[in-house]
A and B are shown apart, each in its own frame.
Chain A
Amino acid sequence: MPKGWALPAETERGRAVLALVELWAENGYAGLSVTEIAARAGMSRERFEGLFDSVEAAAVTANEAPLAAVVEIVADLYSADRSEAESYAVAVVGILRLMTANPAYCYLTFIGGRQMAPSRVHEVFESGHQFLVAMLERLWAASPLSDQPARVGVAALGAAEAVVRREIVAGRYEALPALAPDLVYGSMVPFLGQAEAMRLAELSRRHLEEDLEA
């Protein structure tokens, strides 16, 4: 479990960005206005404008917060005690828990930044997303294949994301962690093969259960 959130709602900036992210998930990007965001955040228009140059600037920050949190989870859960593939399987559980705990940011991470954002904001999202693809593509080193099919990382991550998107559109944020084994399997099978991907899916399921008991 991450030690906290990168943009805690205890700070003014955190509150302002959270308000924006919530409204984005509720009504889409086009409807966002400084007035509404400030009201939701419990601050004056002027205060918001003092914190951010524009809605767009705040939206850019909003995209970066979940990325910082995910990178932290990776840094926390990747360990010399296990292989990189096993660390990844455990990190998936951590990331899903993070998402369950922050549903508005979860919507932004999988949907808002991807398909409900203007170009500049979308590019920030895209650049963070490509970084996560690169992390996944490191598993290529363990592949049985002699050459890497193009865009296999994009597809592997996309496979998992499609399942997550289905759940969050239905409002089932609490169901996300239980999907860890499916997501681990889907994102790792192109690199490691079926048997190993199944083993790691099982590992993530055990980690999920052990953590719950702890």
Chain B
Amino acid sequence: MDSQQRDRMLQAMMEELADRGYSEASVERARSVAGVSETDFAAEFADKDECLFAAYDQLTDQVVARASAECDRGEPWPERVRTGLESLLRGMAEQPGMAMALTRAFPGIRPSAYERYVELLSRFVPFMIEGREYSEVDEELPGEVELLAVGAAEAIIFGEVDAGRAERLPKMLPEILFSVLVPFMGPERAAEEMRTASMSI
């Protein structure tokens, strides 16, 4: 299987999961959509699970890449966070089925699948470290502040995807931005950033 075929196979398998849930997700149907033979599949993947886990890894790689792609290194950190969030939210709104697969269908399979979801959130932590420079207090901020910020965004995003309202996410950028920035810079500064962001929506 060449890399393009592999990508198609993974994409098709994730779509099967998104459309039908784990137990009904069919390798045969996904293979057919991707144009992959049974032999080629068997050579690459031991079973449905191995394919699904690889598909999730591909999807999460894409999510993280998308969020960091459009960030201009020159811009101040809060701007980069905004740009990254904007990109992420647009992606979710454009593909609500994938958003559901990302946040419910795959993590819900079993605890080992759920671990991947937790790892996904941890991948955003490095992007948050610079936020500490914006603190308005002298004392060092608590150790978990980066993951707290990621978790704040996750909670709002998860809530909308879960309720079938992923298409609303781009409009919610200002309030999500507020909650991500607030542990670093406090509510007044975070509210300023929120207001700036709402002017360009």
Contact = CB atoms under 8 A, between A and B. Distances in A.
- Asked if A and B form a direct contact in the complex, defined as CB atoms under 8 angstroms apart, the reply is yes
A28 B151 contact: no
Contact of A152 (B107, B154, B179): B179
Given A30-B110, A151-B179, A182-B143, A191 B187 contact: yes
Nearest to A154: B155
A155 interface: yes
A117 B104 CA distance: 9
A206 to B, nearest CB: 15
Given A166-B122, A169-B114, A195-B137, A158 B22 contact: no
Nearest to A158: B155
Contacts of A30: 22-23, 109-110
Q: What interface size band does chain B fall in?
A: 35 or more
B159 A154 contact: yes
B137 A111 contact: no
Contacts of A179: 144
A185 B151 contact: no
Contacts of B22: 30
Nearest to B110: A28
Interface stretch (A10-18, A53-61, A91-99, A142-150): A142-150
Given A163-B148, A169-B118, A195-B137, A149 B155 contact: no
Contact of B156 (A25, A151, A193): A151
A112 B137 CA distance: 37
B45 to A, nearest CB: 21
B182 interface: yes
Contacts of B187: 143-145, 189-191, 193
16 contacts: A25-B111, A28-B110, A111-B114, A116-B107, A143-B187, A145-B191, A150-B172, A152-B178, A154-B156, A158-B152, A159-B151, A161-B155, A186-B145, A190-B183, A194-B141, A198-B141
